[in-house]
Amino acid sequence: MKRAGTKIVMVTAYDNPSARLASEAGVDLILVGDSAGNNVLGYATTVPVTMDEAVMLTAAVARARPRALVIGDMPFGSFQASDEDAVANAVRLVKAGADAVKLEGAGVMASRVRALVGAGIPVMGHLGLTPQSATMLGGMKAQGRTATAAVGLLNDALELEAAGCFSLVLESVPARIAAHVSEALAIPTIGIGAGGGCDGQVLVWHDLLGINEGAAPRFVKRYAELANEIRRGIETFAAEVRTGAYPADEHVYKISRDELDAFEAELHDGQRAPD
């Protein structure tokens, strides 16, 4: 797709119906992101997400049998310590149904990429703002905004490509720098807050569909307002339960007149006082 100049579409999804809908909508890639941590699991960040949680979410997505490639995100702690950890944990995601895995970082992580690719597992890299190490980066802020940092980013990207990544997420990077990196690489870049020069774009499900409300990073664009729709639906349900409008006749199961009469007769007999 990169060679053909066709933009690549990736969304996150964390459950079965979302994966089905994303697939029906024709996305190319579904990322079971560790952003599940702050979008569905109620954590403040992605850091607490465990392998067991990632495996469960990945399996739920994969069971939708989407046409899109399913990428399982490797949670914090699942690959940092050693290549062996990385392979063992990536194997769990693949057995759960992931076609590929994603991991954050470069440097020593290039060794993890080589180990995973050597084990036959395709790897997507992730550079720029890497939320799992946001504290080291000085917070959740854009990266590569000095010439030195931008050169570092480019070198990291080239290193990950050489290590065998099939694609690379660029998160919160100046658009001009992301475009340079995308041109320098043969593998496709998928941007989030990295401008239109990337080979594809990804947004988080709850951001793009307006389930998340309130302050959002500048790159978030809402393509629906599902939070309003969901609230409206539940409020209407609650109001109808309270007024008795729900359930209506068409929502209830019927029994024949004869069976009902027989039931009522038995009830009556059963209640008769013993002789």
Write out the residues near ligand KIV by the rule CB under 6 A.
12, 31, 33-35, 73, 126, 169, 171, 192, 202, 204
Question: Residue 34 CB, nearest distance to ligand KIV (Å)?
Answer: 5
Q: Are 102 and 167 in contact (CB under 8 A)?
A: no
Question: Residue 124 CB, nearest distance to ligand KIV (Å)?
Answer: 9
Question: Residue 202 CB, nearest distance to ligand KIV (Å)?
Answer: 5
Q: Are 153 and 128 in contact (CB under 8 A)?
A: yes
169/211 with CB nearer ligand KIV? 169
Nearest to 191 by CA among 212, 149, 219: 219
51/251 with CB nearer ligand KIV? 51
Active-site residue flag, 171: yes
Report how far apart, in Å, the C-alpha atoms of 275 and of each of 58, 264, 268, 269 are. 66, 21, 15, 12
Report how far apart, in Å, the C-alpha atoms of 61 and of each of 10, 13, 257, 260 are. 14, 7, 46, 45
110/127 with CB nearer ligand KIV? 127
Cβ count near 212 (within 10 Å): 18
Out of 24, 53, 171, 264, the active site residue is 171
Amino acid present at 164: G
36/163 with CB nearer ligand KIV? 36
Nearest residue to the partner ligand KIV, using Cβ: 33
Question: Residue 3 CB, nearest distance to ligand KIV (Å)?
Answer: 23
Nearest to 90 by CA among 77, 78, 104: 78
Cα separation of the two ends of the chain: 87
Catalytic (active-site) positions: 171
